[in-house]
Amino acid sequence: MTDKSIKELAVSVGLPVEKLLDQVREAGLPQTKAEDKISVEQQDRLVSHLKKVHGQDNGSAGKITLKRKTTSTAKVASTSGKAKTINVEVRKKHTFTKPDPEQIKAEALAKAAAENKAKAEVKVEVKAAPAEQKSQPVNNAKATLDAMRAAQNKETAKQEVSKAAVVVKRKSTNKPIVKQTVKATETAEQKKAREAQAAQLKAVEEAARRKAAEEAQQRTLEQMRQMASKYSNEDATATIRVVDDSPLAAGLVGQAYEDSFAKEDREIKRGTNTATARAPKKGGRRGQEEQSFSKQPKRGLKTSQGNKHGFEKPVKKQVYDVEIGSTIVVADLAQKMAIKVREVIKSLMKMGELVTQNQAIDQEIAALIVEEMGHNPVLVSDTQAEDNLLVAAEEARGAQTTRAPVVTIMGHVDHGKTSLLDRIRRTKVASGEAGGITQHIGAYHVTTDKGIITFLDTPGHAAFTSMRSRGAKATDIVVLVVAADDGVMPQTAEAIDHARAAGTPIIVAINKMDKESADPDRVLNELTTKEIVPEQWGGDVPVAMVSAHSGQGIDELLDLILIQAELLELKASEEGAAQGVVIEARVDNSRGAVTSILVQNGTLNVGDLVLAGASYGRVRAMTDENGQRIKSAGPSIPVEILGLPEAPMAGDEVLVVNDEKKAREVADARLSREREQRLERQSAMRLENLMASMGKKDVPVINVVLKTDVRGTLEALTVALNGLSTDEVGVRVIGSGVGAITESDVTLAESSEAVLLGFNVRADTTARQKSDADGIDIRYYSIIYELIDDVKAAMSGKLAPEHRETILGVAQVREVFHSSKFGAAAGCMVLEGVLHRNKPIRVLRDDVVVFQGELESLRRYKEVVEEVRAGMECGLAVKGYKDIKALDKIEVYDVQLIKRSL
């Protein structure tokens, strides 16, 4: 406080000048005008006058109640053995009263005086007691009792009189009265001196305490300001609001904030949380009361030892060994030390690191924090547990033998990758094996006279690179398909780059040799410009001239692959726990996660406990690429398994483990690692956005929510779509997944103004209703390039009128009958719209397209009809598709010419 004019003072206390002047007059001060100065002493007088006037009201003005709610999560093991996360909400209410400094001073003085007085009295009385005791035994007893009361302050006077009297009587001596009196006088003098000294001391202490409190407040306010600007924590902003309103409140709240940290600290040290802290305290007090009552047999209360609470304050602080990987999320770090996240954030702030609880921090910083908290940091490799498992599995394996090579076919679109894969499969897979429905499991193997070759049949570079980006090296050899009539094209060059980057040897297959326009020499020439020099020209790249159509050169190609494999000396063991890689995974409504795995080492058996990525489970069933049930699979054999609780990602490592606990440990570690990486990516993304919008305002971004039938396509499409972004228009896949489009996808698309794209999947009923109601456009595709072209066109704003399909009607198969004429006839119920006999149809299973074609027949009862409306039953047969099943859906659509908008 400094000298101020009345006007200034009025502004600083927020009162109208007239009102303040009235109060000044009432306080008997001389000022009458707004410009008059008011000194510090006068301000003090004014304050004490106001206090007198307002009496009790003043007390409550310095009172602030803070309510705080903190939510945290706790992990507990459920009965099923799985970890469950429970939200814990702790509500606290603190009332802080600002003590009047005068009052504090007075109280401190009174307290000091009382203490001294009590000491003096005890001395006087105890020492004097023997002298007076003979004549006034009861009085002496009372005096001693007072002393005892000062010390114990528990027992009732009446009861103690007799007890104390006995004590005093026993201790009585016959020392001279004079000496006692002198001693008493001396003590009285000392008492005065001590009082003065104590008062002085108190005053100094008080000043120091205030200074410290002020500094602490400043610090806290600064921290809170930083916190508020860093992230919007409700507590912090609420506090800041008060801070802005009034300096007094700021001080109090700042102190309160510090105090609450300190309080939490104490509670944590006691090994209890705030919610439970009260109970033991209460119990403790009750225990004490009962104990003191128990000294009063008259009241007839029994000793309550049996009721004593079980809480015991830990004598020593718990010191934990805190394991820290290369990064750790702040909240997890706090959990490992069993302290509040806020504590950790506070310490990080002191070190100049402003982070939120969901951010990951580096190993070194985390280690410093752990040390500061008094625990032991244990630095571990992120992959420690996995490495251990791998080593154990490796050790358990038997002798190594030669294994089949795994081949990926790459090349430019339309150069014949799919045709070549089909050709090899058709000619080489024994007809008996291929008898059933050929399944798409992402890979197949062929047996030749010279050996087995496994082909990964997810063509496309994106699948290859996304697998590689997950650290998986599934491919041993790349077969680069180049059309003899087309030559090296952009994706041919891209494929060469990918193969080189992965260090995978290349074999060139010049395809379409049956064509008249084929010009293999030109192709070879073009290849040399890409540093692919054919063997026949003195280089090291084997080349085969083939035709997927005529089958020419296929055997030579397979021979070349096997020779290359021999050079590579591919080895694996057939014994021991299997290890492999996820090729593809999808979720099937009736069977759960269906995962295609390429076994790379060891043997995979039905019943094995498999850890794939972050999920683990027992292999319930296993099929080969022909849909045949098998019991085991060795190295280089692709299989499809059931039994994992959720679909892992393509490229995830697969390992058979014999210890469920270890599997869980590694799965958990991988999950948290994924989470950390995701959070890192998210914050990076936020930053990028920030930069982008700073540098260039209003860069339009097309948000996409993408659902596909299999994971391979999802990854390929995501990479392709994200890669479309340019400086002027961005594309961002904000949500993606495998399986039908659900209500939550629609909600996501709606909230982020995204387009919803389905690749070979459909929206389920609720999603469709929601999208209709909200006007969200869902677009369905079954050709990758159409989808990408659409998004590209949308980006360039050149959406030309185009053919687009509308779904006219949907029917559900209720029962399937065998018909001599059609093979399989389906009894259906039309769910929506109208079923037309002459329009194109699709068969959907779990909202995923399984067949496209047309109807062979549509009937109501015996009659052939042109259309059937919703709510009616009908019988139908699909042309060329006999595998129809109950609950499949038949979708009739129409292709229209419309103006596009995305």
Query: Which residues contact ligand GDP (rule: CB under 6 A)?
Result: 411, 413-419, 459, 511-512, 514-515, 547-549
Residue closer to ligand GDP by CB (options 508, 741) is 508
412 annotated ligand binder:
yes
The H or E element spanning position 878 is strand 873-878
Nearest distance, CB of residue 499 and ligand GDP, angstroms: 16
Q: Count how many residues are written for the chain.
A: 902
- Helix (H/G/I), strand (E/B), else coil: 616: strand
- The token duo for 695 is 């540098």
Q: Is 511 annotated as a binding residue?
A: yes
Q: Binding site annotation covers 471? A: no
Q: Is 872 annotated in some ligand binding site?
A: no
For residue 487, how many other CB atoms are within 10 A of its CB?
A: 19
- Shortest Cβ distance from residue 426 to ligand GDP (Å)? 13
**66 neighbors 39 (Cβ within 8 angstroms):** no
| Residue placing its CB nearer to ligand GDP in the complex, 384 or 418 | 418
Query: Which two structure tokens, joined as six digits, stand for 265?
Result: 């600290």
Task: Rank residues 206 and 514 by Cβ distance to ligand GDP and give the closer one.
Answer: 514
Is the CB of 489 or the CB of 902 nearer to ligand GDP? 489
CB of 413 to ligand GDP, least distance (A): 5
Q: Which of 696, 702, 754 is closest to 727 using CA atoms? A: 696
Closest approach of Cβ 333 to ligand GDP, in Å?
50
CB 476 within 8 A of CB 565: yes
Judge whether 513 is annotated as a binding position. yes
Q: Which residue is nearest to ligand GDP (CB)?
A: 416
- The answer to whether 803 is a known ligand-binding residue is no
Q: Closer to ligand GDP at the Cβ: 417 or 670?
A: 417
* CB of 157 or CB of 413, closer to ligand GDP: 413
CB of 90 closer than 8 Å to CB of 273: yes
Q: Tell me if 414 is assigned to a ligand binding site.
A: yes
* Annotated binding residue 512: yes
List beta partners, residue 407. Answer: 455, 477
Closest-CA residue to 585 (of 506, 667, 651, 540)? 651
Tokens describing residue 622: 């296993």
Query: Minimum Å distance from CB 677 to ligand GDP?
Result: 33
Q: How far apart are CA 702 and CA 791, in angstroms?
A: 8
**Smaller CB distance to ligand GDP: residue 295 or 515?**
515
DSSP symbol at 888:
-
Nearer to ligand GDP, 191 or 415 (CB): 415
Give 325 or 520: the residue with its C-beta nearer to ligand GDP: 520
289-323 burial: b if 16+ Cβ within 10 Å, else e: ebeebeeeeeeeeeeeeeeeeebeeeeeeeebebe
- The smaller minimum CB distance to ligand GDP, of residues 419 and 744, is found at 419
Q: Are strands 754-759 and 701-708 parallel, antiparallel or unpaired?
A: parallel
571 membership: H or E segment, kind and range: strand 571-573
Side chain identity, residue 398: G
The per-residue DSSP string of 458-502 comes to --SHHHHHHHHHTT----SEEEEEEETTT---HHHHHHHHHHHHH
CB 727 within 8 Å of CB 813: no
Q: Which is nearer to ligand GDP, 387 or 414 (CB)?
A: 414
- Which amino acid makes up residue 496? I
Please report which residue ranges of 14-96 form alpha helices under DSSP H: 17-26, 40-54, 56-61
Nearest-approach distance from CB 74 to ligand GDP, in angstroms: 52
The closest of 46, 45, 22 to 34, measured between CA atoms, is 22
CA distance 164 to 133: 12
Residue 418 is assigned to a ligand binding site? yes
* Residue number, 553 or 617, with CB nearest to ligand GDP: 553
Closest CA to 717 of 789, 797, 796: 789
Give the span between the Cα atoms of 415 and 480, in whole angstroms: 10
The vertex-58 CA angle with 54 and 62, nearest 5°, equals 170
DSSP 839: S
Asked if 601 and 575 count as a contact pair (C-beta separation under 8 A), the reply is: no
Contact indicator for 272, 265 with CB cutoff of 8 Å: no
Nearest approach, Cβ of 649 to ligand GDP (angstroms)? 24
Tokens of 480: 């680069």
Q: Is 416 annotated as a binding residue?
A: yes
In the complex with ligand GDP, which residue's Cβ is closer, 615 or 713? Answer: 713
CB of 514 to ligand GDP, least distance (A): 5
Shortest Cβ 840–ligand GDP spacing (Å):
21
369 versus 557: smaller Cβ distance to ligand GDP:
557
Residues sharing a CB contact under 8 Å with residue 153, sequence separation 6 or more, in sequence order: none
Per-residue tokens: 642:
């059931």
Minimum separation from the CB atom of position 498 to ligand GDP (A): 15
Going by C-alpha positions, the residue among 304, 360, 492, 500 that lies closest to residue 413 is: 492
Pull the structure tokens for residue 463: 């699948």
CB of 546 to ligand GDP, least distance (A): 7
Please, what is the end-to-end C-alpha distance for the chain in angstroms? Answer: 66
Residue 75 Cβ vs ligand GDP, minimum distance, rounded to whole Å:
48
Q: How far is the CB of 523 from ligand GDP (least distance, A)?
A: 13
Residue tagged 């014999």 (tokens): 658
Which is nearer to ligand GDP, 51 or 549 (by Cβ)?
549
Strands 604-605 and 632-633 turn out to be antiparallel
Closest CA to 617 of 637, 633, 594: 594
Q: Considering the complex, what minimum distance in angstroms separates the CB of residue 437 from ligand GDP?
A: 21
| Diameter over CA atoms, the chain | 141
Q: Is 415 annotated as a binding residue?
A: yes
Annotated binding site: 411-418, 457-461, 511-514
Annotated binding site for GTP: 411-418, 457-461, 511-514
